[in-house]
Structure 1
Amino acid sequence: MIAELGERTSVFPIHFDVPEHVLPLNTFVETAKQTAALIRALGHELAGGTLVFQVVVIPPAEGSFKTRLGVMVMAGAVAFWAFVESDIGKAFVKGITQHEPAHWSEHLGETIRDAAIDLLSEETQEVDEEALCAAAAEMLVELAADFLQARTDQLQSSGITVERYRDAYDARNQFYQACEHTPGLKGVGFSEAPIFPVQRADFIALQVSIPPKEDDPEPWIAGLTILKVTSPNWNRDDKWRQWKGRDSKGRDRFFRIDDEHFWLLVRQERLNPHIIDTIKVQWAFQGTHENPRNAKVLRVLKFNDEPLAEPLGDRALDAILGAFIPLADDQPDLFEGE
């Protein structure tokens, strides 16, 4: 397949800064999987689902640990470039890459932009389809690499919002969750050179809270749990970086805190934070207890050894969440640690 479609293939390297160039299999698989998911999300946006492409694994180079994915575009490049050359497409590309599409057209070859313009103007029916497919693959690689590195506020200010591009942000979240869970992984880069612009401290910062879809029928699950806070976020106005903690089984949990009383105590400097804070909370999430999504703390009941509040009753929870499922008393971490 690569030999037959090689000219339409663009290489997406994921370069890991790990000691002795050893990477856990799960990290290799998950980061490749989420990169492919991100490329699919971007490709769908740029061609309305008409772009036909495939993501394959290319053998890694010796002397370093790189995942090398091949993006092969087989069809749909006409619709792809038609969108890219539209006002909306130009804004989308610039919002992610900070460059107009013309920059990439020039970078990839002067004939690409001319071919796209000819297609739009219908001045000619003869275009270099091979070149258009190759350029579409290259553009997808550039967009995916830049999206994985772009600050959320930069994307948001360009109209690339979490609500509008949920699938792309979700893929990026899961990509960096896999990186964060990899001991010894110092950084990640997206070039063949050993350059790692995304450092370990960025793994959390590049994850964002993804609100539920308005038409999402999935109910909320509400209950009590105890968390060891490993990465707080004391800036309430920061809507993108979540709090991070571990439950009683050592699983990472990402959440936001929506407790007004708690934030009042923060403003009044009445809390006594430690390096690792232990909090007992009443929270709600969607998904499953093993894999919660959109988690939010409704009430902080205890901060370290200091009691702060009593749990909300069912009537209050119903007013906040609508329909919800109470977390059963036999859940593994319910009230553990007491």
Structure 2
Amino acid sequence: MSAQLAAGTYRCRDVYRSAALAANAGMTWIDTAPNYASGSAEASLRPVLDAWPQVSVSTKVGFVSGSDRQAARDAGVLPGDRNQGHCLSRPYIAWQLARSRVRLGRVPDLVFVHNPEHGRMNRSDLLRTLTEAFEELESAADAGEIGGYGVATWTGLSSGMFTVSEIVRRATEVAGPHHHLRAVQFPVSLIRLAVVADALDGCGALAEARDAGLNVFASAPLGGGELLGAMTEELVRVIDPEASPVQAALLVALSAPGVSYVLLSASTPAHWADARGAASREPLPSGRLRKVIDVLGA
């Protein structure tokens, strides 16, 4: 199945407007987190989710927004340093999930463990933290408080702190073969081509996720905007001579083997129309992807 576009809200200045435009453009998934938009993203999404009930939503646990920190301390779920900005203890996860359900106005379809590598240099400590987080998330899934869960990471996979196979193994140890681990989220783009090169060779995070039956949410497909200024005419021609620069960049993430959703933040109907033009194209064949990788040097 070809990858689909989905709406991300990480860098949205106006989450409500961006999400409403995405839903109106036909996006069927919106991804957010309690710490996005200075802690206001989830509440801003509620009217959009009410208006488009068919749209699925994923949120996250881990980062502590400044607006939530005092409430978490008052609830006794935020241990350690007073300025702690990241927490994956079971009490904090349970507290944050309850808060997210209220803000979103519904049970989230997915909850990602958000950058579990944050502040952790020891692999064994990180994997132990993931196990405890999965225990709480399995409990929430069994209770119908979340649809499922996953892991969203920026550098955890690329740095070797953990692998997709290790994540799956931990979920299986916690809940057996019928666990609720459903997805992983990590960057896939022209500036993150190593993961694509690995997938073409049948290895790495994308291949492991595919083999485990996990959905992959590709984040930062435009490199946080950095790619827009780097899309030369030559590079666009190598990817697809009939595509716009944005479409060419998106096509790489949309065509990467194993990617299910490509998360994009777009602020105007024209931006979404351009992005949909990429999603409507045939995925790039493996030979074309290899040529792009050769040109750029993954």
Band the TM-score falls in, shorter-chain normalisation: under 0.3
Higher strand share: 1
TM-score (norm 1): 0.24
TM-score (norm 2): 0.26
- Whichever of the two has the greater Rg, that structure is 1
